A and B are shown apart, each in its own frame.
Chain A
Amino acid sequence: MKILFVDDERDVEALFRQKFRKEIKSGELELSFAFSGDEALDLLGTENPPKFVYVFSDINMPGMSGLDLLEKIKGKFPQIKVSMISAYGDTENYNKAINSGAQGFFTKPVDFEKLRNEIKEISRA
């Protein structure tokens, strides 16, 4: 299953690759990373339809915010699931995300067990 993580912090890649080391090794998961909303859209646009099943995006990023990205993805590729991962877990961001069709909302620091369960559930479905 292909998953895309979007975050302006580059160390997120090392963190998630290490956290999901076993799943990546076994071929269960394939992770890609983009460090801005534009980069994410470019990556999704290279294949038609994109093989990505799930996008996890940060909200607070320079340029396109995660919420803008969410709307763009939902407009172009409604079949892709999108969840937000944000340090700002306030109700305003939460409501905006859910109303724009976000699958879920994770707050930072990420609860990896929760994230793992979410991904497992999707891969099972």
Chain B
Amino acid sequence: MKPERETMSTSELISKITELEGQIVKLTKQTKSDVSKLKTQQNRADEAVNDLKVIQQQLLQQEKLASLGQLTAGIAHEIKNPLNFVNNFSELSMDFIQEIEEELEKLNDSTEKENILELLSDVKSNLHKIKHHGSRADSIVKSMLMHSRGGTGTMDPTNLNDLIREYVNLAFHGMRANKNPINVDIRLDLDESLSKININAEDFSRVILNLSKNAFDAMRDKIAVKGSAYKSILAVRTKDLGDKVLIVVEDNGPGVPDEIRDKLLIPFFTTKKGTEGTGLGLSITHEIIKTHEGSLEIESELDQFTRFKITLPKTTT
């Protein structure tokens, strides 16, 4: 027989158990705190990994955009030259047909003459179509180039107020002539003491057109929600700041939600459906302002206003 285990007295047993219990409690506490320490550390690590992922995404995005930009610039240029020929030759041929028609008018009337004039009129209308679609393609190519190179042409002394008057007006009439026109109260408050500043007028007119068009689109959305009680206003101001010029384009539309505020300048970012927006307007705008060594600020309050503030130095190189 095996020797019996040494027997303990009941009191001895109880104290042993209490001691063990204490140890267990202590160990559990220790483990718990270790686990929570580990957890916070793991959380920190997770956060860092997440941050890294976001940065990596951004870098990837930038790299993609940079190479996309180079690619589009290359393609756009290769397309531009043949496109110029298409446009030039179609225009020339339209002029020639005009001349032919004038010469034909000098001839006696006959069924042959009638027939020739009819055919010429068809050819002329075809040439118009070629020219029209050629110009369409040309403006797309131009925006692509503008985008990847950030502006073309030279900086010339320009009356900024005149340019703003002209292009806000143009944007307004363009909007009125297109589908879903809206009523807008246009308020220009232009600092007439402003002297001419060096800008690329063609590029800068795009800035005014883009910002005005965006404002009209945004206010149209608000009208759809609020109905006729809401009166849409587009206000454009200029102000002489001494060595700088401030240009403000402000609408009292729906405003820009915080979640997308940071995304507005990203190429191809749009909230517009289908073919209504390319999402290039603001990124081109930003690009042009940068080539003018200026800055763009966006302020907005939901349901109240959206304000684009452009600051341009008076002396651009």
Interface range, A side:
10 to 19
The answer to whether A89 touches B152, judged by C-beta atoms less than 8 angstroms apart, is: yes
Q: Which A residues touch B81, using CB under 8 A?
A: 9, 87, 108
Interface range, B side:
10 to 19
Q: Which B residues touch A87, using CB under 8 A?
A: 77, 80-81, 84
In the complex, the number of residue pairs spanning A and B with C-beta atoms less than 8 Å apart equals 41
The answer to whether A94 touches B154, judged by C-beta atoms less than 8 angstroms apart, is: yes
Cβ-defined partner of B92 (8 Å) among A9, A15, A91: A15
Mask for B285-301, Cβ within 8 A of A = 1, else 0? 00000000000000000
Least distance between A92 CB and chain B CB atoms (Å): 10
A14, A88, A91: most-surrounded residue (chain B CB, <10 A): A91
The answer to whether A109 touches B77, judged by C-beta atoms less than 8 angstroms apart, is: no
Is the contact region of chain B dominated by helix, strand, or loop, or is it mixed?
helix
Q: Which A residues touch B154, using CB under 8 A?
A: 89, 91, 94
Separation of A88 and B153 alpha carbons in the complex (Å) = 8
Cβ-defined partner of B89 (8 Å) among A15, A88, A94, A107: A15
B77, B80, B88, B151: most-surrounded residue (chain A CB, <10 A): B88
The 4 closest A-B pairs by CB, nearest first: A109-B84, A89-B153, A89-B152, A18-B92
Beyond the given pairs A89-B154, A108-B84, 20 more chain A to chain B contacts, judged by CB atoms under 8 angstroms and listed by A's residue number, are A9-B81, A11-B85, A15-B88, A18-B96, A19-B88, A87-B77, A87-B80, A87-B81, A88-B77, A88-B152, A89-B152, A89-B153, A90-B151, A90-B152, A90-B153, A91-B155, A107-B153, A108-B81, A109-B88, A110-B84
A: which residues have CB within 8 A of B?
9, 11, 14-15, 18-19, 87-91, 94, 107-110
